[in-house]
Amino acid sequence: MKTFTLGLALTLMASAASAQQMLSTASPIPEGAESRFCYYEGMAYSEDAFVLLVGDNTVTDTVRTVQERLLRCHRDSDGTLKWKPQSTFSTNN
C-alpha cells in the first residue's frame, strides 16, 4: 500500500510540474493577434481606436510642461495594426 501511495504522489507531482511548465511557456497573446489588435498596457484595442498618453516633460528641470500625445490604432501596409501618432500637445504648468 505504501508503494502505491508513493507512486501516486510522484505521478501527481510530475503532472503538476509539467502543467506548470506548459503555463509558463504559453504566450498570453494569441497567434496572429497583431493583425487584429493594437496593445497598450495589457489592453487590446481594435482598428481606429484612440489612446491619450499624458506625461511630464523630463528633459529639463527648468521647464515644467505636460505633454499629451494622441495615438490611433492604424492598419499598416503589411496588414498589422500599429499605433500611429495623431497629434501632440504641450502645456506649461
Q: What is the C-alpha to C-alpha distance for residues 49 and 86, in angstroms, rounded to an integer?
A: 12
**Closest listed residue to residue 52, CA positions, set 80, 33, 73, 36:** 73
Highest mean pLDDT among 12-16, 57-61, 62-66, 82-86: 82-86
In this predicted model, what pLDDT tens digit does every residue of 24-42 receive, in sequence order? 566 666 677 667 889 888 8
How much of the chain, in percent, has pLDDT values that exceed 70? 55
Confidence of residue 67 (pLDDT cuts 50, 70, 90): confident
pLDDT of residue 55: 81
pTM (2 decimals)? 0.55
Domain boundaries, the chain: 2-92
* Residue 12 φ then ψ, to 5°: -65, -40
In this predicted model, what pLDDT tens digit does every residue of 14-27 receive, in sequence order? 555 554 555 556 66
- The answer, yes or no, to whether residue 6 has pLDDT greater than 70, is no
pLDDT of residue 65: 76
